[in-house]
Structure 1
Amino acid sequence: MRDLKGTVAVLMFVLASEVLILGADGAGECGKTPIGSAAASLSPCLSAVSNVKAKVPLTCCARVAALLSTAPRCLCAVLLSPLAKQAKINLATAITIPKRCNIKNRPAGKKCGSK
């Protein structure tokens, strides 16, 4: 539990730094939302990205569903970002969250990069 709190603290610091450094620099994979802000909005998912058998929090499911409905490519952009790598997000587990949340409008066979 202590390690999770430390990871969350580091992730939030990195995300806040990214938002300050990058700002809103036009439309990208996440629209006009900076990728750091999109990543921060997914912080309720942290407990579910390291264990494929962990129950996904309802808040996480709601945020992933909202992200997929407004900017579907943003989820992969967040998961493939340097922020996710710094936070040691397990991509193979993280991309299972839409299915684990039973999100109906998820793209079939969704993959990010080569995963």
Structure 2
Amino acid sequence: MKLLAELVIRAFILILTTYIVPGFKIDSFMTAIMVALVLALLNALVKPVLIFLTLPATLITLGLFIFVINAVLLIIASSLIPGFHINSFFTAIFAAVVIALLSTLINKILIQ
């Protein structure tokens, strides 16, 4: 039940991101659910490998390179899911930052 709630919250964050980031489009809430699910799988399977491979860049940028990794994962997800579109790499980076900020904000609100 908790995983389902987290999936719905992530989908809600993705929908909010479509209103904030120009060029970041999700066609429906069901598409947002699918994007959240695919991103969860990519974060579990691909992200650790990418972090390991880019560790020097991540250390030099004091962790900011993680946003680039998250942008790459968003682009991979957009190529896998019809109805999810990202116009450019810079749009993906901006979306990654917005998603991180919204996730932090919503987690703070829900935990307190």
Q: TM-score, normalised by structure 2?
A: 0.37
Specify which structure has the higher proportion of strand.
Answer: 2
Q: TM-score, normalised by structure 1?
A: 0.37
